[in-house]
Structure 1
């Protein structure tokens, strides 16, 4: 059992005997372990050199085991460090291998899933093996699993996988959907909503995406593309992040209902007009002229607006004004 730490079976027998008896001499070892004298001598010399045992008593002809947590614990730590290093090397080599395969055979970047069964099977597998994060566009009129059947997502959430999901707004009006979404949010899903989404999309660990292909309702079988890496995947990730920034947060109210975050604009009409000029690209000089004030006054008012809204920069202010519909 201790071979991984450098002890062969005979050495392990001697070490375990010394641990159990506290100390022993060569005669004890020969009599109790059934090993000949020459073999015992050889084993003891080897174990002393490696610090596994020490000599004690008059004439130093008795032997005792060094504490396992000292001598074997340090070896175990070194082994663990070596394993961690090897794992990192394997991960790096695996990534290099995948990149090499992709460059050599671009056809492996995209796999067509020919029917609904294959699509659902692959989506379940991807969620079951997800390690970090799943991104998802959930469109209206698509098949959405009710909470009691959505085992793959909820199991992944429980083991620490992050989910970021954007729902199309009409879904919130469907019977049972708000309760299903609220259940996922309670488990840790980050949910947002938009009035419209361009496509159904699932991205797992920024490594694999599933994108449905052309389907004519009631005529053709649903097909999808499985995309592994490459610039197409990077474009889909960028598409998701763009919509995520613009989407409205869904939260659970005190009564347990699912609601959209609503942010009351903290600015008055005069400040909103100034913000509209900033968003339109007007310079401070131009704004000062239109408002009939000095440029320094414009800068002071902008600074005050940043403080009131919590924005750190003018760009962030413009983004908040757009996403929270202040203008």
Structure 2
């Protein structure tokens, strides 16, 4: 009990017995504590030196306990002061440790790569070494790797590596982009589309993320492209969670046997819906602009808008968002 203020367990036991007895000799306390008389006498001498016990005047060999509040409380207060100083010192050491650990961990967790060629090389490396899965955010206006040039993806898909890719709406405005997505989906890529993405990103095997920091596309000097390579850290976990959140709300992109982004054919519920309508719906739900849809279908933008209005009338809805929801619910795409 008194070890925290510097007394041994044996000293504590002898002092406790002396408090109960009021006055006692070493022989009497020996019988009470079970310690031999010599040891008890030595402990009583130690207690006397520290002020917990005193000799009884006129009775040689007898001892009395000093009041605990006079002898122990001051020790406890001094110990509390010492503990508080130690706590402050530990807090200062922990703060210094956190600062140095952050600087060290930040250097280990984030690597900066400069230049478009260095980015292309790093993207090839992570795909060539991937064993399980690649996750991608594909924004419009490439930074280092134009659409359709990522041969490493097809090599990885052939090895059995999974690809989940999110495309933003503006991505499909580039010539040939839809054909490139169709080719990738046919090779095994799982693709979805969203209206917009917050950044460009590739995540390999849930262990490393590559994030080009350029706000726009390939304009400017390729040597000025800066990329963050991010490994295990809270930042990496946030990026992984960001991907999964966008993936949940993305519209799936499927490829028809004819090689178009679209659905799987007509059902009894869609007797008045043509394959061309399904193709148009799939493009619309993917967030592709009317102008780009018109280019894909080989019709005018006005025709696309007229056909979408007809589909809205068929579904009995007033907005394109409602049309997309009804199309998914009725398995039109």
- Shorter-chain-normalised TM-score: which range? 0.3 to 0.5
TM-score, length basis structure 1:
0.47
TM-score, length basis structure 2:
0.46
Larger radius of gyration: 2
